[in-house]
Amino acid sequence: MPYLFTSESVSEGHPDKVADQISDALIDNFLAFDPSSKVACETLVTTGQVVLAGEIKTDTYLDVQKIAREVIRKIGYTKSEYMFEANSCGVFSALHDQSADINQGVDRKVENNDFETLANAQGAGDQGMMFGYATNETDNYMPLPLDLAHAILREMSYIRNNESDLMPYLRPDAKSQVTIEYSDDDQPIRIDTIVVSTQHDDFADDETMLAKIREDVINIVIPRVKAKLKPELHGLFDENITYYINPTGKFVIGGPHGDTGLTGRKIIVDTYGGKGAHGGGAFSGKDPSKVDRSAAYATRHIAKNMVAAGLCDQVLVQVSYAIGVAKPCGLYVNTYGTAKVDMNDGAIAEKIAAIFDMRPYAIEQRLKLRNPIYSETAAYGHMGRKNEVVTKTFGSNGNAKQVEVELFTWEKLDFVDKVKESFGL
């Protein structure tokens, strides 16, 4: 029997995403000047105020207030009527040194600097389990409802920042939600419902405002999103889609003034939109020694390469750790009965564990995670993004530093051949 599945996304101006972006900007700046930095930074944003809290071990000094303001400015909170504005908001820092008790399990002194010694010495920054997921229903191996939810908001953000005459009333805060009908064999049939709520400028006439926003989302945003999809997906858009556009009505008060934002409160938006599973640990504000982040990226890397290799149509990969211990407690694989080889999932997991070294140091090295690559992850999802090399510029104490980095390394299909060889595909 057909079924419905829903995923949501939020824009870069959503309060929780503002907090995520500030936390990850701090991570990037610390790593740019001291790649060995250990950082766990939480951010709270509310009316006219930013609070930074967390633990840091680093050899560099940063103007954290300046970094936070630059992020807020880039997002678009630049007007006093937003009640949260880059130049005037307060920024309070309660960052302090990392606990030596925690650090001793992660940074162990070693006599030899060869790979094996370092990989066995660096333990996991915490216990826990992390999940990666991939499906072949989209070109980027992401669940379609989440992919579309992200695409709607990215298009609105592009219009707001680059073609503001099209929808001049748009403000930074927005949310979207897409419900898709699937067939019995898990194939998308049609889009059932699209929900968009966007912050906007004040209007003299609320009814006129609502009608205008609805018209623009349906006639400007959705066609542009559809045009960027592969032709096979165009048929999902039909005249029977139910649209809820700003269903509560007026949405002038938004951003951190409308809702307090916190780092790590959008972990499902950050991952797979509710598909697969989530271990519960957030990503933003954490350096890669925290396996909540690095191992989640590594399991996505595994899952994506498995599906791309034709081993299965979709897969969930779990890894788990004990704090201070390098070797994972276990690796779990669930192919949902879609495996193309005559092996059960336990046997598949054993082969996968032999291909991918999941010790924290090995993950850091394989995915180049000790680079300042995290600001780009903090809005519109950490998975399913474009792998590319960019040059980023950072400033500290009047010194500018340019760093060439590779973004979203966990999205590379660089292990497909190894998977195929191991499984005889």
- Taking residues 32-40, what's their average pLDDT? 93
The answer to whether residues 405 and 372 touch, using CB atoms and an 8 Å cutoff, is yes
Look at residue 152 and tell me whether its pLDDT is greater than 80.
Answer: yes
Structural domain boundaries of the chain?
3-10+144-254, 128-136+288-423
Confidence (pLDDT) at 69? 97
Taking CA 30 as the corner, what is the angle to CA 24 and CA 32, rounded to the nearest 5 degrees? 100
Q: Which CATH architecture has domain 128-136+288-423?
A: 2-Layer Sandwich (3.30)
Taking CA 197 as the corner, what is the angle to CA 280 and CA 176, rounded to the nearest 5 degrees? 45
Q: Collapsing DSSP states into helix, strand and coil, what is residue 39?
A: strand
pLDDT confidence band for 204 (50 / 70 / 90): confident
Binding site listing for ATP: 14, 173-175, 250-251, 259, 265-266, 282, 286
Q: Give per-residue pLDDT as tens, 283-313.
A: 999 999 999 999 999 999 999 999 999 999 9
Q: Give per-residue pLDDT as tens, 122-150.
A: 889 889 999 999 999 999 999 999 999 99
Binding site listing for Mg(2+): 16
Q: Collapsing DSSP states into helix, strand and coil, what is residue 184?
A: coil
What's the pTM value of the predicted model, to 2 decimals? 0.95
Question: What distance in Å separates the CA atoms of residue 262 and residue 130, rounded to the nearest whole number?
Answer: 21
Binding site listing: 14, 16, 42, 55, 98, 173-175, 250-251, 259, 265-266, 282, 286, 290
Look at residue 102 and tell me whether its pLDDT is greater than 60.
Answer: no
Q: For the ranges 58-62, 156-160, 215-219, which has the lowest average pLDDT?
A: 58-62
Binding site listing for L-methionine: 55, 98, 259, 290
- Taking residues 368-374, what's their average pLDDT? 98
User: Same fold for the domain at 3-10+144-254 and the one at 128-136+288-423?
Assistant: yes
Question: What distance in Å separates the CA atoms of residue 59 and residue 45, rounded to the nearest whole number?
Answer: 27
Confidence (pLDDT) at 406? 98
Binding site listing for K(+): 42
Look at residue 241 and tell me whether its pLDDT is greater than 80.
Answer: yes
> What are φ and ψ of residue 317, in 5° steps?
-120, 130
Closest CA to 156 of 220, 212, 206: 220
Confidence (pLDDT) at 111? 64
Cβ count near 320 (within 10 Å): 19
Question: What distance in Å separates the CA atoms of residue 182 and residue 370, rounded to the nearest whole number?
Answer: 40
3-10+144-254: CATH number: 3.30.300.10
